[in-house]
Amino acid sequence: MGRLATAIGSRLVIAVPYLWLLIFFLVPFIIVFKISLSTTAIAMPPYTPTFGLEGGISGLVEGLKELSADNYTWLLDDPLYINAYISSLVIAAVSTLITLLVGYPIAYGMARAPTALRPVLVMLVILPFWTSFLIRVYAWIGILKPEGLLNQFLLFTGIIDSPLVILNTTTAIYIGIVYSYLPFMVLPLYATLEKMDYSLIEAAQDLGCPPLTAFWKITFPLSLPGITAGCMLVFIPAVGEFVIPDLLGGSQTLMIGKTLWNEFFSNRDWPVSSAVAIILLLILVVPIMFFQRAQANAREKGL
């Protein structure tokens, strides 16, 4: 009886995350995918057909016949959306690289700090999350605008003669993304580096290996799992970011998250905006699946 209860309990523990994904990911995905195959209409909701199980099997079959892939064809033919996808991927990739370059030394310093000091350093990294994300982004407007704190400081120190134009540029977007998502890079890196056996570094140095060479041959390869996790945690949300490009990038910024918002709320074109979301999801999910499969195959070969 005890074994049966343990088996049922273990299955329930496994079933909970699958149930969560089913309710909050798969079901909304199916709904959005259905809307993306519909056509725009002046109605509530603003799309057709609105098929369901109300009309029975026959009504469902008739509704399926009215579905169309024209929205996807139109998106692939429109340079605006293609450029928005490309721009989002480029900005997200560059932001992820900058975040890695900034976050790695921070995580390494935290991992090499005295044990008693590490919880305080982790708390300092997490501390920005105690403030609203929107407020933190708005704060950067006051810092980066021509009469903002940054330009006032640079003018006061004599480094520049006239205010720099940073706000409403791609540079401001990079600053906003790096600042907002830096903890997502630092924490996985710290978790990986903190567990590393630093006696390997000492052994390499005892054998005459220079510190920089020891870092590239020992520390960096052992930290690759943290690098991979941190890059994914930064890159994936950065691709679909809307708030930062809208507030810091200005009206000329072309990113898919902002385009999706405009289609959904300004143009009220739910089918097209749903198709934009589906394509964005596929762009992000499919490469991750191939990457995970490649990692699994590499681990099998290693064994």
Q: What is the DSSP string of the chain?
A: -HHHHHHHHHHHHHHHHHHHHIIIIIHHHHHHHHHHTSEE-SSSSSEE----STTHHHHHHHHHHT---HHHHHHHH-HHHHHHHHHHHHHHHHHHHHHHHHHHHHHHHHHHS-GGGHHHHHHHHHGGGGS-HHHHHHHHHHHHSTTSHHHHHHHHHTS-SS----TTSHHHHHHHHHHHHHHHHHHHHHHHHHTS-THHHHHHHHTT--HHHHIIIIIHHHTHHHHHHHHHHHHHHHHT--HHIIIII-TT---HHHHHHIIIIIS--HHHHHHHHHHHHHHHHHHHHHHHHHHHHHHHHH-
Q: For residue 63, what pLDDT band results from cuts at 50, 70 and 90?
A: low
pLDDT above 70: residue 188: yes
Percent pLDDT > 90 in the chain is 30
Q: For 7-16, 104-113, 208-217, 238-247, which range has the lowest pLDDT when averaged over its residues?
A: 7-16
Enter the tokens of residue 274.
Answer: 């749903």
Residue 47 sits at φ, ψ, to 5 deg, of -160, 160
Average pLDDT over residues 244-264: 85
Q: Which pLDDT value is given to residue 179?
A: 94
pLDDT above 70: residue 12: yes
Residue 48 sits at φ, ψ, to 5 deg, of -135, 155
pLDDT above 90: residue 172: yes
Q: Which pLDDT value is given to residue 41?
A: 75
pTM to 2 decimals? 0.85
pLDDT above 90: residue 1: no
Q: Which pLDDT value is given to residue 144?
A: 92
Which position has the higher pLDDT, 49 or 269? 269
* Record: fold of 69-300: MetI-like fold (1.10.3720)
pLDDT above 90: residue 36: no
pLDDT above 50: residue 303: no
Q: Which pLDDT value is given to residue 64?
A: 60
Q: Which pLDDT value is given to residue 98?
A: 97
pLDDT above 70: residue 62: no
Q: For residue 193, what pLDDT band results from cuts at 50, 70 and 90?
A: very high
Which range scores top for mean pLDDT: 176-190, 198-212, 216-230?
176-190
Q: For residue 105, what pLDDT band results from cuts at 50, 70 and 90?
A: very high
